[in-house]
């Protein structure tokens, strides 16, 4: 009787072993999937464009420290943007801001008016102000170290005839400040920074001399400048920007 039960059990075990062996063989014959390729990180291309380094207001001059380069995705960069390697930011030195810019705003062709472009002088002038030009030389213009946007005092030097006394035959030379806190609009005829416009190179071709300075004055200040220009020699005295916030000229003497 025991043998009667043993035979089916052994047969069942053999059948299970055969099924397991067949399944293992089929698994080995099945093609193995290829190992997954490592994910390749996406490479993004960037350019550097010119942006405002600080807030710039309408009518102010662009300086070297008011602009900076910033990374920008190289995807359809507008042609009006200034791109590093393609444009020279030095060409914008002395340009005038046409619209208000906040820090990080891209600089475009329409953001600034470059010296010499149509409408440059009108964009520089504040409301109710006038532009007037005076002759200067290397000495009277601080050896070419006065730039557009600087504040200056206007000094008149003139020769007065002797009025009598022991030195009645000796003329007197006097100087006095006639206008204070006058903003410089241009040094030279074409308003292209400090060394541009009405320039004259020496024989070596190395140094240049600015012959004119254009100033921003009130209507009354323009009348004073026109008069003192006929009375004697005019000189510019540079003021520190840190201690002067006003731009309008202060009339010190009426003629």
Extract the tokens encoding 244. Answer: 């002067």
pLDDT digits (tens, 9 = 90+) for 69-122: 999 887 778 888 999 888 888 888 778 888 889 999 999 988 888 877 777 777
Q: What is the structure's pLDDT at 187?
A: 81
Contact of 61 with 101, CB cutoff 8 Å? no
Query: Which residues are bridge partners to 235 per DSSP?
Result: 155
- Chunked mean pLDDT (size 10), the chain, 255 residues: 62 69 67 62 77 88 85 84 87 84 90 79 82 84 78 90 63 87 79 39 47 90 92 88 55 46
Contact of 86 with 116, CB cutoff 8 Å? no
Compute φ and ψ for 244, nearest 5 degrees: -130, 120
Q: What is the structure's pLDDT at 118?
A: 77
pLDDT digits (tens, 9 = 90+) for 128-145: 899 999 988 877 777 777
Helix then strand then coil, in percent of the chain rounded to 5, is 25, 30, 45
How far is residue 180's CA from residue 249's CA, in Å, rounded to a whole number?
5
DSSP codes, 97-153: E-S-B-TTPBPBTTTEE-TTSTTHHHHHSPTT-EEEEEE--TTTTGGGT--TT-EEE
Q: What is the structure's pLDDT at 74?
A: 78
Going by C-alpha positions, the residue among 91, 130, 126, 128 that lies closest to residue 214 is 130
For the question of whether the overall pTM of this predicted structure is more than 0.85, the answer is no
């Amino acid at each position: 009787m025991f043998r009667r039960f043993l035979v089916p059990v052994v047969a069942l075990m053999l059948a299970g072993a055969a099924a397991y062996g067949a399944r293992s063989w089929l698994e080995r014959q099945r093609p193995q999937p290829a190992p997954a390729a490592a994910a390749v990180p996406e490479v993004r291309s960037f350019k550097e464009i010119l942006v405002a380094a600080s807030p710039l207001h309408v009518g102010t001059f662009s300086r070297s420290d008011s602009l900076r380069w910033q990374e920008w995705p190289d995807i359809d960069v507008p042609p009006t943007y200034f791109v590093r390697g393609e444009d020279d930011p030095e060409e914008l030195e002395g340009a005038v801001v046409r619209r208000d810019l906040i820090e990080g705003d891209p600089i475009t062709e329409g953001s600034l008016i470059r010296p010499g472009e149509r409408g440059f002088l009108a964009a520089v002038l504040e409301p109710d102000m006038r532009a007037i030009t005076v002759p200067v030389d290397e000495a009277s213009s601080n050896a070419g170290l006065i730039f557009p946007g600087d504040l200056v005092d206007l000094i008149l030097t003139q020769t007065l005839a002797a009025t009598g006394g022991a030195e009645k035959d000796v003329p007197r030379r006097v100087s006095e400040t006639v206008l204070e806190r006058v903003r410089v609009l241009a040094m030279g005829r074409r308003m292209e920074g400090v060394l541009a416009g009405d320039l004259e190179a020496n024989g070596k071709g190395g140094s240049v001399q600015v012959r004119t300075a254009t100033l921003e004055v009130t209507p009354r200040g323009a009348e004073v400048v026109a008069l003192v220009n006929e009375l004697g020699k005019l000189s510019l005295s540079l003021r520190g920007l840190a201690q002067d916030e006003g731009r309008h000229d202060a009339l010190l003497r009426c003629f």
